A and B are shown apart, each in its own frame.
Chain A
Amino acid sequence: MHARDADIVIIGSGAGGGTVARELAPLRAEGVRIVVLEEGPKLRDEAFTGREVEMARQLYTDEGGFLTEDRAMTIAFGRAYGGSTVVYTGTSLTITAGTLARWNVPDVAFEDVRRRSLKYLGENHVHLLDQADLNDNNRLFADACRRLGYRVEQFPLNLNGCKGSGLCNLGCPNAAKMGTHRVQLPEAERQGVTVVTNCRVHRLEDRTVVATVREGGPGEPPAWEPGEYRVRAKVVVSAGGAIGSPALLLRSGMGDALPALGRYFTCHPALILVGQHAQPITNYYGHPKSFYCDQFAEDDGFLLETCMYFPFTTAKSLTGFGDDHARMLAAMDHLQMILVLAIDPPEAENRVMLGRGGETVVRYAFPEGVRRSLVQAMRASARIFFAAGAERVHAPAATPFFIEAADAARIDELIPFDGLRLGRTTISSAHPMGGCRMGASVSDSVTDGWGRVHGQPGLYVADASLFPRCAEINPYVTIMALADRVAEGVRQDWPALEARSS
């Protein structure tokens, strides 16, 4: 067992951890020792091959297929130097005043979050793609939405030198995506922050972090030699994501003192829907996600986004098997894709918990409203596909699963509400949120509005687990804005925490 001393340990290096590391890095000039412990690897640029399974194994927990307890949904979250910012598509939306009002966290004002969000939009080179770089998959969606009278907007994206590989979710092979692995972490390291990759944190014992640096892990050699570590710190910032942070705090024995720990988990349950065109379209050439439609967010509880996935992900997203399934897959270059995101409510029983062996378990019961939203979203998407000229559409709740253009007028009838059957329909999530929610009271929250864990001086959370409700948009900018607040709080608290420790 190796013993190390640090002043500040940050667990996780994604949108939350990477931001905190960079924001606290100036403290290095005062001699403050800062270490980031990251479970995943740091890959060299040439290691981003774009090969689906190979990259998923290196960059995602459970290859992107982490299963909920009842196995009705998979959750994808990154595990790499840069966390999930390595594998997202870079969509950079800022949280709305309405959503933040629904969060209703004392001390978290919209103007403050907005100001911090704008800071990261600038830092991460967020902009709209040039029209010439929009492929058919995206244009068809936008044009069809407009034709149907649906509100549609172009996504701001955090790209610098994008070549349109379409491989964003497997890690950009052109180093163009401005995640924390490209912006905040390198800057933190330049200022003297140590980032230890392939390092799994098991638990906290007061402010001692118990961790293991993996031997023979992928990517660059970690900053510390392989082995088991006990790292003493004055400040610990947990930024392991909305599944990792609650699980870590539970494994550290904080469940009794923090009854809300792990609870109110939300995740924007998602469907990947597919329409097939008679002729090839450009879909996997160019950035995959240029537009979103929020026409239905307020009343029907879902968002629609363009997307383009890879052969295995597409195959498992289609319901069914056999010839029909294989025929649709055999025409990958004819496929148009839409990602549905349901806006799910925070429910105390949807939660991150520990299994009997101490393993991380996510329990998620689909609220009835979410099921209805997913079916409504299938209907809206089918209309968009047909308005875009698709000749057939795959709808997981339909019987049969394929709807021909000739039946476009019967969409509501062919996609019934009771057609969505958990365990049959592939439902996935890439936006885990909640579990260490912010709030005023220990009875229904885990931290205050600055990420300070109730009753645990020196312990902070800085990731999507802070969200008291779902973000209703792609969440990374909001995570960075909140992490920026957490870092400011740590800086304010630092003199007192340092004095207390010494």
Chain B
Amino acid sequence: MVPLSAAQRAFLLTLAARIVPWSSHLGPDRRDALLALVGDTLATRPPAMQRQFGLFLDVLRWAPVLRYLRPFDRLDAPRQDAVLRWFQDCPLALVRSGFWGARTLVFLGCYGHPDAGAAIGYTPSKDGNAVLHARARR
């Protein structure tokens, strides 16, 4: 079960678009796969951690209201990035860790998909030595 609300899942995709820009071009199937990878991983974590992650997403979404009078998803891209940088570099280690967790789950959803490798030049082979030796002969 995906332990995030529909609003949190939608926000996670907004967040993903800033953390991994190419994720904004994913089709519906890959977006669903991204959310499933994140949800399945979260589901294996303790309930308290799941709640904290959901809460952190809400904080990330609404904290910009204090400065920009708008939630995260209604900011332009440069301001969204500025907000994320603030969370990343926040003096409070707990906040930095929260951002690290959100960032890591987005990376999981994007780069953990089996089809992601080929697009970034990662095409491993069970017989890697054969490729290695062939390239050495060139």
Contacts and interface: CB of A to CB of B under 8 A. Distances in A.
A330 B20 CA distance: 11
B108 A422 contact: no
B45 A282 contact: no
Interface in A434-487: none
B31 interface: no
A contact patch SS: loop
B126 A312 contact: no
A421 B122 contact: no
Nearest to B109: A312
B107 to A, nearest CB: 4
A53 B20 CA distance: 18
Residue from B45, B89, B108, B128 with most neighbouring chain A CB atoms (10 Å): B128
Contacts of A72: 93, 97
Contacts of B132: 133, 135, 164, 282, 285-286
Contact of A316 (B107, B124, B136): B107
A35 to B, nearest CB: 27
A333 B121 contact: yes
A166 B129 CA distance: 9
Given A322-B19, A423-B93, A311 B116 contact: yes
A333 to B, nearest CB: 4
A108 B124 CA distance: 44
A294 interface: no
Interface in B69-91: 81, 84, 88-89
Contacts of A421: 89, 93, 96
A70 interface: yes
Given A285-B132, A316-B107, A359 B46 contact: yes
B19 A321 contact: yes
Interface string A323-342: 10110011111100000000
A16 B20 CA distance: 41
Interface of B: 18-22, 37, 41, 44-46, 81, 84, 88-89, 93-97, 99-101, 103-104, 107-108, 110-112, 114, 116-117, 119-122, 124-133, 135-136
27 contacts: A62-B44, A70-B97, A71-B100, A133-B132, A163-B127, A163-B128, A164-B130, A166-B128, A167-B124, A285-B125, A285-B131, A285-B135, A286-B128, A312-B112, A322-B18, A322-B81, A323-B21, A325-B20, A329-B111, A330-B121, A332-B117, A332-B120, A334-B121, A422-B93, A422-B96, A423-B96, A424-B89
Given A174-B126, A285-B124, A334-B121, 13 more contacts: A71-B101, A72-B97, A132-B136, A164-B128, A167-B124, A282-B132, A285-B125, A315-B110, A325-B19, A325-B20, A421-B96, A422-B97, A423-B97
